[in-house]
Amino acid sequence: CGVFGIYGHDSAATLTYMALHALQHRGQEGAGIVASNGENLFGARGMGLLPEALPEQKVKSLASYKNAIGHVRYATTGASELSNVQPFLFKSHKGDLGLAHNGNLVNAKKVRDALEDEGAIFQTSSDSEVLAHLLAKSKAATRKDKIKHALKQIKGAFAFVILHEDSLTVALDDHGVRPLMLGEVDGAYCVASETCAFHAIGATYIRDIMPGEVLTITEDGIDEDRYVDTTYPNMCSMEYIYFARADSEFHQNSIYRIRKALGSALAEEMGDIDADMVIGVPDSSLAAAKGFSAQSGIINEQGLLKNRYVGRTFITPDQVMRERAVRMKLSPVYDLVKDKKVIVIDDSIVRGTTSKYIVQALKNAGAKEVHMGISSPPLKNPCYYGIDVSTHAEIIASKKSVAEIRVEIGADSLTYLSVDRMHDVFKQFGSRGQCDACFTGNYPIEIIDHILPQEK
Ligand code: 5GP
Ligand code: SF4
Ligand code: MG
């Protein structure tokens, strides 16, 4: 998912809409905005891509308010319904509350069951709703202390944006799994999952919000605090490899440059291959292919074209549809690859659908040899922290060796980046620690519920 928040700007709702548009790659299932006029909160939500979810009329109805938060929801394979689209809006005589969450909690069921035993009634099946109940229940003296108290009771990955009538609070979990950035536009503070949202609204990127931080933005400015003393930096590696937009920056480094470095590390590990060209799978692997080309000296060509009007293939529900979607999405440039030995660079293999199709399509187009290079290690385990890399049963590398996967996808060779080299690259770009559980199985946050997000 993607989140955004802005406090004290005349065009808060419009800027939120524009920011969500820049974050659309983080979620296509639904979107919403909650805005405040200093006294009450008002919301608009809908299913689908932004223009569908939030038509102009709905955004206009919020246009006079100065504070707003927004959310784009990630598509999972489970049933999607409007009640789960965020931001959530809770009305109470004690004040309204707007809430949006990126990530996935690993103890939400446990907390929810306990709250229900005490009489709470939940409106949604979303893990995010537990925070609102914990907040409402907290006996702490101040609003900030209530928030800190509530945050201490939840575990997992979370970047929260919380809107009260006269404050915007943002919080990042103590492992900092999901990205969250602080910016400023026309003297107003804003926060976003990625800096590409800042570029879209003309905001300046100030800094990354750190693990365990709680920032409260009010008329008086910004209050910077933490809800825990000890933190364990474990940013999601998949954000760097695949999920984030290439023009976004983490720790002041563009994802584009990081992906290029992953590609060049892969080239070093692959060693000498006799090939005529390197082809990146558009769009997420174009940077890695450039890096691979620079390191290996093999020319980079755009041998695969993407039809931009087809959504991300991963989100389509069954295997037949998924295969059709890849075919519609990617096509080879026939006369470029004919009789050539090509190296194809992709950022990851999950089920193998994409790689298998690409190898076949390039061979049908006359390619003599197709070598696959993957700019991340073999993806073997599901993610419990908010990225839908699917279940164990569907993940090809959870059952098959690299040699078996090579046979399955029909490539002449298959090389993955090693876990060590991947971490070297992240460190080189300012990372203090990375989650790599989907590659290694070392889950940095203990899984308590054992429920995958997509099984909900
Ligand atoms: P596969 O076709 O092997 O199932 O998936 C691999 C392709 O999906 C790669 O081209 C990669 O860019 C993309 N991909 C990798 N991880 C994810 C993910 O977590 N979510 C989505 N939507 N796509 C992914
Ligand atoms: Fe990211 Fe993988 Fe860790 Fe999930 S398990 S947070 S996808 S690195
Ligand atoms: Mg891809």
Sketch out the chain's domains with CATH numbers.
2-233 (3.60.20.10), 257-435 (3.40.50.2020)
Packing angle between helix 129-137 and helix 108-117, nearest 10 degrees? 50
Rg value, the chain, Cα: 22
Q: Output the residue whose Cα is nearest ligand 2's atom 6.
A: 236
Model pLDDT, residue 12: 98
Q: How far apart are the CA of 28 and the centre of ligand 1, in A?
A: 15
Work out which ligand 1 atom sits closest to the CA atom of 349: 3
Enumerate the β-bridge partners of residue 279: 344
Strands (E), 328-368: 330-332, 341-346
Q: How far apart are the CA of 349 and the centre of ligand 1, in A?
A: 6
Question: pLDDT (tens digit, 9 = 90+) per residue, 112-129?
Answer: 999 999 999 998 888 999
Q: What is the ipTM of this complex?
A: 0.93
Average pLDDT (286-296) is 98
pLDDT interval class at 76 (50, 70, 90): low
Binding site, by residue number, is 236, 284, 346-347, 383, 435, 438
Average pLDDT (400-419) is 98
Q: pTM for the complete prediction?
A: 0.95
Nearest Cα residue to 171 out of 161, 185, 184:
161
**Residue 456 reports pLDDT greater than 50:** no
Work out which ligand 2 atom sits closest to the CA atom of 239: 1
pLDDT interval class at 78 (50, 70, 90): very low
> Is residue 196 annotated as part of the catalytic site, yes or no?
no
**Residue 313 reports pLDDT greater than 70:** no
Which of 24-33, 113-122, 381-390 comes out lowest in average pLDDT? 381-390
Ligand 1 lined by 347 (C-beta under 6 Å): yes
Pocket-forming residues, ligand 2, beta carbon under 6 Å: 177, 236-238, 383, 385, 387, 389, 435-438
Q: Output the residue whose Cα is nearest ligand 1's atom 9.
A: 348
Nearest Cα residue to 6 out of 237, 239, 242, 187:
187
Q: How far apart are the CA of 315 and the centre of ligand 1, in A?
A: 9
| Cβ atoms of residues 225 and 144 within 8 Å | yes
Q: Which of 1, 15, 62, 151 is catalytic?
A: 1
Question: pLDDT (tens digit, 9 = 90+) per residue, 140-192?
Answer: 999 999 999 999 999 999 999 999 999 999 999 999 999 999 999 999 999 99
| Cβ atoms of residues 98 and 163 within 8 Å | yes
Binding site for [4Fe-4S] cluster, by residue number, is 236, 383, 435, 438
**Residue 77 reports pLDDT greater than 60:** no
Q: 324-329: list long-range contacts, CB under 8 Å, 24+ apart.
A: 326/353, 326/354, 326/357, 327/357, 327/361
Query: Is the pLDDT higher at 307 or at 77?
Result: 307
Model pLDDT, residue 377: 98
Task: Give the mean pLDDT of the chain.
Answer: 94
Model pLDDT, residue 316: 55
Q: How far apart are the CA of 223 and the centre of ligand 1, in A?
A: 39
Model pLDDT, residue 315: 53
Model pLDDT, residue 319: 79
Query: Percentage of residues in the chain with pLDDT exceeding 90?
Result: 86
Hey, how many other C-beta atoms are within 10 angstroms of the C-beta on 14? 17
Model pLDDT, residue 79: 53
Question: pLDDT (tens digit, 9 = 90+) per residue, 35-61?
Answer: 999 999 999 999 999 999 999 999 999
Model pLDDT, residue 168: 98
Query: Percentage of residues in the chain with pLDDT exceeding 70?
Result: 96
Average pLDDT (400-428) is 98
